A and B are shown apart, each in its own frame.
Chain A
């Protein structure tokens, strides 16, 4: 067993010594080149701290802004999640509806999708409540008949469902009028929707900025290594070989930028956590701030790395072609 092992190792060495490279050798050196390119790209970034720091900071800020806005929107959304329960739809029934018809309507309402619960309020109950709450009780006594209709209180599962439910209910038989309370909740929802869109727009714009910044940094790197690129090409370096260190730098810039952004966001979270907790205490709320979390950090790193890579890729595609020989 040991004998065959050493024999195969010997022949492998002989193969490497000859003109023909074995597939394994090629793969090993390919992997080695990736590894050494990664470390040399990293040391190059660290060796020119000023230029690199500038690039990294710009990337970090560009990632921090939309990420902070995103976290803000998410926190408010969580906060407002608790008030879904207070969105209610009042359904007023036409006068003179029969008992059986009311039962049928109640069932229909409960059967609608997106409905959490339905509560019946008879006309009489409504009057009693009105009298108790308004103090105009005596005024009602002068009227011949009860001016208030029978009604249902429909509780939607989500605030966002309410609008659709109102249109659906309005088309039902026997329904006279429908009213949606708590418009402010919808406004908040719309605001949150806008916030989310703003995150996307800001993220896209700043992402483009990062691509340009990384692209410019890589362009400078390519220019300063012109001689090296020429020589590497003349001794038979493939395009992929020439590209590799620049792609790694772009990727690393993105990763470092994302790391700094994560640190900034975490600091921001800690800084806000105190005041928010105090506020929550005042309102007797369980709410506390939700930070980036591990998943958020990983996402941020992925986005940073990808955007950096894209920037480098574009710069490399554009500027390497200009260096002779092709």
Chain B
């Protein structure tokens, strides 16, 4: 059974603008894919639907066989705990340490103190920032902040990892490192979907690419790679 399944999904914003038109695709558990397309193509909208930040206008969205349309509002937080998300503007909180930022998903889910400590350090270790746990994220570089965001997205071992322009304003080498990091999570069975318009980078990764155009799925296949 596929982990993510879009079934003729459309999204029309209140403004009347149709950001997604009858989009269909499937992703298996443990699969990794890139979502690309011009600016305004609907990449962020698609990820927002997966996070239940927005609700579809029509069509079905199935996660692990369960239809999210039928998920009541009270169950939404528990669904979100199965998903990790990395934002373009990393959305770190600057009123607390790196450690506390990464710990947030665990605190929210009610993990014990000791458990939180162990998991946060493991997550920070996996992004190579264990020595920065006590820093305020504002004192970190853009790339480091992005990695803190990733640590926060994976600290609770989600089944699905979503990223919206995670390499937005990073230099090519850092971008490659970040992508390699995502690949490592895929290797341990996480389903990873990354929205990016960094075509060069994506092509180099040799993975499935879905391209949106004006809200429609224009192309869906494996990149040729090898550059």
Contacts and interface: CB of A to CB of B under 8 A. Distances in A.
Contacts of A168: none
A231 B81 contact: no
Contacts of B85: 234
A29 B81 contact: no
Given A21-B111, A25-B110, A28-B112, A237 B77 contact: yes
B109 interface: yes
B132 interface: no
Contacts of A237: 77, 108
A16 B108 CA distance: 15
Contact of B81 (A227, A228, A235): A235
B131 interface: no
Contact of B107 (A33, A238, A326): A33
Contact of B112 (A16, A234, A235, A326): A16
Given A19-B157, A227-B91, A228-B95, A326 B73 contact: yes
B42 to A, nearest CB: 18
Interface in B73-125: 73-74, 76-81, 85, 91, 93, 95, 104-105, 107-115, 118
Contacts of B73: 326
- Best-surrounded residue of B52, B73, B109 (most CB of chain A within 10 A): B109
Contacts of A30: 110
Contacts of B79: 236
A325 B104 CA distance: 17
B80 A234 contact: yes
A19 B114 CA distance: 14
A26 B111 CA distance: 7
Determine the main DSSP class of B at the interface with A: helix
A232 B108 contact: yes
B21 interface: no
Contacts of A25: 110-112, 115
Interface string A64-95: 00000000000000000000000000000000
Interface string A242-267: 00000000000000000000000000
- Best-surrounded residue of B51, B53, B110 (most CB of chain A within 10 A): B110
- Best-surrounded residue of A30, A234, A235, A237 (most CB of chain B within 10 A): A235
Given A236-B77, A325-B51, A230 B91 contact: yes
B136 to A, nearest CB: 15
A229 to B, nearest CB: 10
A33 B93 contact: no
B152 interface: yes
A234 B81 contact: no
Interface string B141-157: 00000000000100011
A232 B104 contact: yes
B53 A324 contact: yes
A233 interface: yes
A32 interface: yes
Contacts of B156: 235
Interface in B49-64: 51-53
A227 B53 CA distance: 15
Nearest to A17: B115
Contacts of B111: 16, 21, 25, 29
A235 B108 contact: yes
Contacts of A232: 104, 108
Contacts of B104: 231-232, 235
A241 interface: yes
A227 B93 contact: yes
Contacts of A29: 107, 110-112
B152 A235 contact: yes
Nearest to B96: A228
Interface string A201-237: 0000000000000000000000000011011111111
Interface of B: 51-53, 73-74, 76-81, 85, 91, 93, 95, 104-105, 107-115, 118, 152, 156-157
Interface of A: 16-17, 19, 21, 25-26, 28-30, 32-33, 227-228, 230-239, 241, 324-326
15 contacts: A16-B115, A19-B157, A25-B111, A26-B110, A29-B111, A233-B77, A235-B80, A235-B108, A236-B78, A236-B80, A237-B77, A238-B77, A324-B53, A325-B53, A326-B73
